[in-house]
Homo-oligomer: A and B are copies of this chain.
Amino acid sequence: MAKAADVYFQVDPWKIIEEGFDPAYSRVSESVFSLANETMGVRGCFDEGGSVDSLRGAYLNGVYELEPLPRSYRGIIDHTHYMIPAADWLAMELTLDGERLDLGRVRFRDFRRELDLRAGTLERSFVWQTASGKELRLSFLRFVDMVHRERAYQRVALTPLNFSGSVSLSSGVSFEVTHEGSGKCFWQDARTEADGRRLMLQSRTAHSGQEVFAGAALELPGDVSVRREGRRAALSASLALREGEETRVDKRVVLLYDGRGGETLWQAGLEALRAGEAVSLDEARQAQRACWEDYWRISDVQIEASGPDAAAVAAEQQGIRFCSFQLAQIYSGGSMRHNIGAKGLTGEAYNGHAFWDTEACCLPFYLFTNPGAARDLLLFRYNTLPQAMARAKMLDCQGACYPIATLNGDEACSLWQHASLQLQPSTAVAYGIWHYAHVTGDRDFLYAYGAEMLLQIARFLASRVEKGGRTGRYGFFGVMGPDEFHMMVNNNAYTNYMGERTLRCAAETLEAMRRERPEAYDDLARRTGLGEAEIGRWREIAGQMALPQDETGLIEQHDGYFDLPHTDIDAIPVSEFPLYDHWSYDRIYRSDMIKQPDVLMMLYLYNSSFSEAVKRVNYEFYEPRTIHESSLSPAIHSILAAELGKMEEAVRFFGFATRLDLDNYNRNTREGLHVTSIAMAWANIVYGFAGLRSDGEGLRFAPRLPDRWRRLRFSVLYRGRVIQVTMEKGLTRLMLTEGEPLTVQVYGKPCTISGEETQVPCP
């Protein structure tokens, strides 16, 4: 299964650059040039629209529509939900000599588009050559405010190169937006008003009844006329341009969605719009740059080449920065109502849904760069605990069963085999709580929120577990583990092991809470009906969980896995990938072929709990059976390969990690960015090549620099400290750029680091 780069963008350390425009890449560019600030996101689509192939989408986190599903069996969801586009705030049109600007139809030259990772802005410029012979240079700038997250900005700058004269420009805001999957516009009952150079709109979704306010303050020279029709409003003006002089049209936008509606929302919207007008676009742009500079101070990963691979490493440098940039855009904390959709706010694929990837893959990035954001992600799970409890009930269980796919906390996966059989979202939430508390030591969070989630998840697992199997011990029957190529199996090792750890963690956490915060514990126990017997039962189940290994430490993925027919995955022609598109659905499930790490996933998550020998025997058994039809798969393998000293494999699996979307490796970047894979690119470097381990006592590093890198430098935040790690050939240098001295393990030996650099030679 060879993946190949589809190189389109220019390499630059801090920018993503498109020079010249290829309409065939239009949607790929739109995805790559997406901007977001967690609250809102917008694809890199052309402000002026036109006939170019486009998924025109400006999204608000948490805005979705509902769809009823056909009646089916009990425990299978009867409606789903999906993200829909919200107000299009970029909407504008330009006409010169009767020619409408449309890059799918007009002549133009010197097209350039540039995403600046340090400035957090997207710029686009070109020269429009009209049929009448005029040349008009156009520059577009946009950004979404990283601090005032309801704000966004657009600037259109027009410079006539060979004429003076007028152009017609209209600019507005529109709720006439179509959800591509259904082909429908869900916005209704729009209120639209104009006041001077301000536009105000409010509209409501048809089924979910969510209301959004959208306002824009325009700086548009000359006389303007207002056009309001249906669900859109715009201002139009005839701009008198002078040859060689730049004329700017600035639009300061406010989008408000916070659960309120009606007149209350409208008034809040007006207020937000007025507040936004106190800041000019240029001032906001300055603040935006400062905000990103602050971000890069901690989160930058620097890679330098060693010798002949300079070009490839420069691409990796750009790639990892693009990943970090996107992660900060998608989520940076502040809202406990949002999670991280598989495509973030960059496209409508996966319906805006978040998966267990959040806890299993994304959380470490936030834990070590922005622990507050990690906490807020977990609070999303706390806020949706009622839905998880309702879901457990639907499944004839107790406690809380977290959804495999969701936007609002309800299960949204209409494939029952995933929604009902995958317990990993619940154990991943438990893992995330434990991992967060373990790394940060945040006991306030743990006892105020974490303990209750752990309790309900443990309760769910205890109601779902059964005794049976070859061992006669406890186990989970009828499950689908992380390897989705084995649908309904018994005693999936991952599920059993994660279940066991979750039950123990819940018991330990609640027992510690009883000692440390007896009042809070009593309150929780009273509210949830928790008694000592229940905790005892969790311990009993955990103690008798089926977790068989053979004498070499090899773990069977599930009961009967070793007896399955063997598929030689190297014999599958490349043309048959992705298998879901080329193989009959049931055929995928009939052999020992694995979609993504399953046993290896638990060896990754609870890495410190397994010996190197166990990791080696399982890696060597399962890796050749894995086809990596999940974009998360290679990184897990790369991290384990690095640990096992298989550097060649580690580098091979790292391969396209940093540039999965920049080079469109999966050929579906047009649908949006692979946000959770982006998070694993960071983990691949920090857990893989720097050998960070955070699931044991304290922090551990075991740096292993790939040959083609001369230097790797990154920082991690840890309990009020900033640890800067610089890996070079034969040597790792560690120092604290902030905080008190700290002892960590490097290559298994204690190493105290401080503001002074500590050097550790490679063993």
Q: Quick check: which of A577-585, A641-649, A718-726 contacts chain B, the rest being far away?
A: A577-585
Contact at B74–A580, with CB atoms within 8 Å? Answer: yes
A469 touches B589 (CB 8 A): no
Q: Is A297 an interface residue (CB 8 A)?
A: no
Pick the residue among B466, B559, B587 that contacts A396 (CB under 8 A): B587
A478 and B421 form a contact (CB under 8 A): no
Whether A565 and B73, one on each chain, are in contact in the complex, defined by CB atoms closer than 8 angstroms, is no
Contacts of A191 in B (CB 8 A): none
CB pair A587–B73 under 8 Å, yes or no, is no
Q: Are B73 and A580 in contact (CB under 8 A)?
A: yes
Asked if A275 is at the interface (CB within 8 A of a chain B CB), the reply is no
The residue in A467, A487, A563, A581 that gathers the most chain B C-beta atoms within 10 A of its C-beta is A563
Given contacts A559-B563, A565-B477, A581-B74, contact A586 B466 (CB under 8 A): no
Inter-chain CA distance A565–B395, complex, in Å, is: 18
**Which of B416, B583, B586, B590 makes the CB contact (< 8 A) with A586?**
B416
Q: Is the CB of B74 within 8 A of A583?
A: yes
Whether a CB of chain B sits under 8 angstroms from the CB of A544 is no
Set of chain B residues within 8 Å of A236, measured between Cβ atoms: none
In contact, B468 and A420 (Cβ under 8 angstroms): no
A696: chain B residues at CB < 8 Å are none
A441-494 CB contacts (< 8 Å) to partner B: 466-470, 477-478, 487-488, 490
Give chain B residues whose Cβ lies under 8 Å from the Cβ of A395: 584, 586-587
Option from B466, B490, B586 in Cβ contact (under 8 Å) with A420 = B586
> Cα distance A588–B468 when bound, in Å?
16
Q: Which residues of B contact A20 (CB under 8 A)?
A: none
Q: Is the CB of B591 within 8 A of A477?
A: yes
Contact with B along A581-619 (1 / 0, CB 8 A): 111111101110000000000000000000000000000
| Min C-beta distance of A475 to chain B, whole Å | 9
A76 interface hit (Cβ, 8 Å):
yes
Q: Known: A488-B487, A563-B490. Contact between A477 and B590, CB under 8 A?
A: yes
- Nearest-CB distance from A364 to chain B (Å)? 31
Is A394 interfacial (CB 8 A cutoff)? yes
Q: Is residue A564 within 8 Å, beta carbon to beta carbon, of the partner chain?
A: yes
Q: What residues of B have a CB within 8 angstroms of the CB of A585 in the complex?
A: 72-76, 416, 420
Given A395-B587, A584-B420, A587-B395, does the pair A565, B467 have CB atoms closer than 8 Å? yes
Contacts of A75 in B (CB 8 A): 583-587
Interface string of A535-559 (1 = CB under 8 A from B): 0000000000000000000000001
Please list 9 pairs of residues, one from A and one from B, whose beta carbons are closer than 8 Å in the complex, sorted by A's number: A72-B585, A74-B585, A75-B584, A395-B586, A396-B587, A470-B563, A477-B564, A478-B589, A559-B560
The list of the 5 closest CB pairs from A to B, nearest first, reads A75-B584, A468-B565, A73-B585, A466-B565, A420-B586
